[in-house]
Amino acid sequence: MLHKMTTVIPVNIHQPDQVVITKAAHILRSGGLVAFPTETVYGLGADGLNETAVLAIFAAKQRPAHDPIILHIANKRWLPRVAQHIPETAHQLMAHFWPGPLTFILPKADAVPMAVTAHGPTVAVRCPNHPLALAFIQAADTPVAAPSANLFSHTSPTTAQHVWADLNGRIDLILDGGATKIGVESTVLDLTTGVPTVRRPGGVTVEALTAVLGRGHLRIQNNIVEDNPEAPLQSPGMLARHYAPNTPLWLYSGSDENVRAAMRAAIAQQPDPALVALLISNEDYPFFADHPGPIGQVGSLENLSGVANQLFKTIRQLDRSPTLLILARNFSPNGIGRALQDRLYRAAAQRFDCT
């Protein structure tokens, strides 16, 4: 693809500079690619109603065309611009969770190009809870198609530096609004199924959705779809291998005691333990204090939101360090932990059940 000059502009997210917003909106409306922060991760934006611009996202990310993209809107009044047959449940959920990290799957409006939906009849849409993202989408006055701003299947970006590392030379502009707050992507909720179905766990927890919808009124798609292009994909982004660092990551699930023992045993088996990196909790640290290789502490087991905030950043840090292998602990599936499990599962080259 053509080499682009990628500009990075720092922006105060609470008082975005109108000149910068106007420039970014102009680039987007001219068919360009603009990366911007949301409350979850950085998105790679294009004019969601311009098919050529949307196709440029796929090229820049090296994303396969069968993986559909989320449209970002400035407020719920825009929903009819991109979706139709909007059920009462959507209104109920919007009242609770928008703007915020909840993406709906709905029947697409005719105006939405086929590239956005990967030629499917449904569209994904969300309204991000981020002042800079909202100012930018408002100024562009068009739904903004934006997947996470990383190379396909790589770890999602939570800072402008992460975006730069993956996409420098491939996109026009990066709006640098600092680190994102939540650190994992939005929850993808399919509202075209009889009972709403969680296709991807994320920033809005299953517990919070259940509190609004009532018990028995939410389904969770738990199957990890293997990366088989022949198989029909329910939510095509949900491939088994995703979010992956370049260094192989081994994932350990089970009781704290068993996980620590299994990780220590795995370290001992490696020819050079200094080339083994660890992704662990604060509580694990005393058990690995003598480890000679890189250690990434993602926070406390008692604060999984804090872990979510550090997860992708830590994976990227460990991946950049001189290491041949990353050993990572898994987390409990409560609250945001369900999203952590999902991302770690997909990032892993090997998984060990230590229960």
Q: Where along the sequence are the contacts to ligand TXA (CB under 6 A)? A: 38, 40-41, 43, 67-70, 101, 103, 105, 117, 120, 122-124, 128, 146-148, 185-186, 188, 199-200, 235-238
Residue 158 lies near Mg ion (rule: CB under 5 A)? no
Residue 323 lies near Mg ion (rule: CB under 5 A)? no
- Residue 215 burial by Cβ neighbours in a 10 Å radius (0-12, 13-18, 19+): exposed
Count Cβ neighbours within 10 Å for each residue of 35-68 and write b for 16 or more, e otherwise.
Answer: bbbbbbbbbbbbbbbbbebbbbbbebbebeeebb
Q: Which does 40 bind (CB under 5 to 8 A by kind): Mg ion, ligand TXA, none?
A: ligand TXA
In angstroms, rounded to a whole number, what is the distance separating the alpha carbons of residues 70 and 126? 7
CB 280 to ligand TXA: min, Å: 26
Q: Which is nearer to ligand TXA, 152 or 352 (CB)?
A: 152
CB 147 to ligand TXA: min, Å: 3
Q: Which does 105 bind (CB under 5 to 8 A by kind): Mg ion, ligand TXA, none?
A: ligand TXA
99: preceding bond cis by omega (within 30 degrees): yes
| 186 within 8 A of 109, measured Cβ to Cβ | no
- Beta-carbon contacts of residue 203 (< 8 Å; ≥ 6 apart): 39, 40, 100, 101, 102, 182, 184, 185, 186, 187, 336, 339
Q: Which does 146 bind (CB under 5 to 8 A by kind): ligand TXA, Mg ion, none?
A: ligand TXA
Q: Which is nearer to ligand TXA, 97 or 250 (CB)?
A: 97
Q: Which is nearer to Mg ion, 40 or 323 (CB)?
A: 40
Residue 281 lies near Mg ion (rule: CB under 5 A)? no
Site for Mg ion in 136-155 (CB under 5 A): 148
In angstroms, rounded to a whole number, what is the distance separating the alpha carbons of residues 103 and 126? 5
Q: Which does 294 bind (CB under 5 to 8 A by kind): Mg ion, ligand TXA, none?
A: none
Q: Which does 296 bind (CB under 5 to 8 A by kind): ligand TXA, Mg ion, none?
A: none
* Residue of minimal Cβ distance to ligand TXA: 237
Q: Which does 299 bind (CB under 5 to 8 A by kind): Mg ion, ligand TXA, none?
A: none
CB 76 to ligand TXA: min, Å: 16
The two three-digit tokens of residue 223, written as one number: 């199957």
Q: Which is nearer to Mg ion, 147 or 296 (CB)?
A: 147
Q: Which is nearer to ligand TXA, 67 or 284 (CB)?
A: 67
Q: Which is nearer to ligand TXA, 130 or 291 (CB)?
A: 130
CB 148 to Mg ion: min, Å: 3
CB 103 to ligand TXA: min, Å: 5
At position 86, the amino acid (one-letter code) is I
In angstroms, rounded to a whole number, what is the distance separating the alpha carbons of residues 239 and 229? 10
CB 61 to ligand TXA: min, Å: 9
Q: Which does 170 bind (CB under 5 to 8 A by kind): Mg ion, ligand TXA, none?
A: none
- Beta-carbon contacts of residue 197 (< 8 Å; ≥ 6 apart): 189, 190, 218, 219, 220, 221
Q: What is the phi/psi pair of residue 119, to 5°?
A: 70, 15
Q: Which does 330 bind (CB under 5 to 8 A by kind): ligand TXA, Mg ion, none?
A: none
Q: Which does 314 bind (CB under 5 to 8 A by kind): ligand TXA, Mg ion, none?
A: none
In angstroms, rounded to a whole number, what is the distance separating the alpha carbons of residues 139 and 131? 12
Helix (H) or strand (E) holding 160: helix 160-167
Q: Which is nearer to ligand TXA, 126 or 329 (CB)?
A: 126
CB 184 to Mg ion: min, Å: 10
Sole residue written with tokens 């109920």 = 92
Handedness of CA 210, 213, 214, 219 (dihedral sign): negative
Sole residue written with tokens 């970014």 = 24
> Running DSSP on this structure, what letter comes out for residue 146?
-
